[in-house]
């Protein structure tokens, strides 16, 4: 009996090793930060399998969401893509450019401009359109059921651009707001600072600090 079990154990070990090598060979594209409902991922060497919270997402992964499902992924610490229900996308990457190929459904992409390096961009690509994003929010939708060859762009893709601030202040790694003021006549700068600190303690929520 022991001799019969050994080949089976070797086969299981090889199958596990093959799966590990497949993941190791693909470059990591991001990580799942939110997941609800039925979401699957298909890799080049693996059949579709459930995608879970905090799973890594690799280049060339195809992510598919089911009914009443949603997935949100952080890509390279620079962008967040939200995949709505009944959507299918594939993430590809070359140096300086990541591409989200949207086959069907709806996604929202938010790119942190302050995290992007010079020359870097993220593209959203559909069958008939390409949108390049460097620091904004973009919503794209593709309907396979109604798409026809020669359809106008507006029939295939819906985009909305939301402008953000040109720049943001930071204190260490945290976003910050700079407050500029001066003491009223008859008061010292030390008294003015003490008054500001007192107001901050009373009015600011606990998660916001000052320095």
Indicate the helix (H) or strand (E) that contains 62. strand 62-65
Q: Which of 128, 129, 85 is nearest to 108 (CA)?
A: 85
Q: Residue 60 pLDDT more than 70?
A: yes
Listed range (17-26, 98-107, 113-122, 177-186) with the worst mean pLDDT? 17-26
Q: Residue 40 pLDDT more than 90?
A: yes
Between 64 and 15, the more confident residue is: 64
Q: Residue 2 pLDDT more than 50?
A: no
Cα-trace Rg, the chain: 24
pTM equals 0.56
The two structure tokens encoding residue 148:
């026809």
35 near 19, Cβ under 8 Å? no
Alpha carbon 56 to its chain centroid, in Å, reads 12
Q: Which of 4, 44, 8, 6 is nearest to 27 (CA)?
A: 44
Q: Which of 114, 121, 118 is nearest to 100 (CA)?
A: 121
What is the set of domains in the chain, with CATH numbers? 27-165 (2.60.120), 174-203 (no CATH)
Averaged pLDDT of the chain: 76
Output the pLDDT for position 79.
85
Mean pLDDT confidence for 176-187: 84
Mean pLDDT confidence for 71-100: 87
Q: Which of 66, 6, 13 is nearest to 35 (CA)?
A: 66
Q: Which of 67, 70, 47, 42 is nearest to 57 (CA)?
A: 42
Output the pLDDT for position 167.
61
Q: Residue 47 pLDDT more than 80?
A: yes
């Amino acid at each position: 009996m022991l001799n019969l079990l050994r080949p089976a154990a070797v086969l299981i070990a090889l199958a596990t090793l093959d799966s590990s090598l497949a993941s190791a060979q693909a470059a990591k594209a991001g990580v799942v930060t939110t997941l609800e409902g039925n979401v699957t991922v298909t890799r080049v060497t693996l059949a579709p399998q459930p995608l879970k919270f905090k799973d890594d997402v690799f280049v060339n992964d195809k992510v598919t969401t089911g009914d009443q499902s949603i997935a949100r992924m952080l890509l390279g610490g620079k962008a967040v893509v939200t995949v709505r229900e009944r959507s299918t996308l594939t993430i590809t990457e070359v140096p300086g450019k990541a591409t989200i190929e949207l086959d069907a459904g709806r996604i929202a992409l938010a790119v942190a401009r302050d995290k992007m390096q010079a020359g870097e961009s993220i593209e959203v690509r559909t069958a008939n359109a390409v949108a390049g994003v460097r620091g904004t929010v973009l919503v794209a939708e593709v309907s396979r059921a109604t798409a026809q060859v020669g359809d106008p762009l507006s029939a295939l893709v819906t985009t909305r651009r939301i402008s953000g601030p040109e720049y943001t202040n930071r204190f260490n790694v945290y976003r910050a707001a700079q407050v500029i003021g001066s003491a009223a006549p008859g008061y010292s700068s030390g008294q003015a600072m003490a008054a500001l600190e007192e107001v901050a303690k009373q009015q600011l929520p606990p998660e916001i600090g000052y320095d």
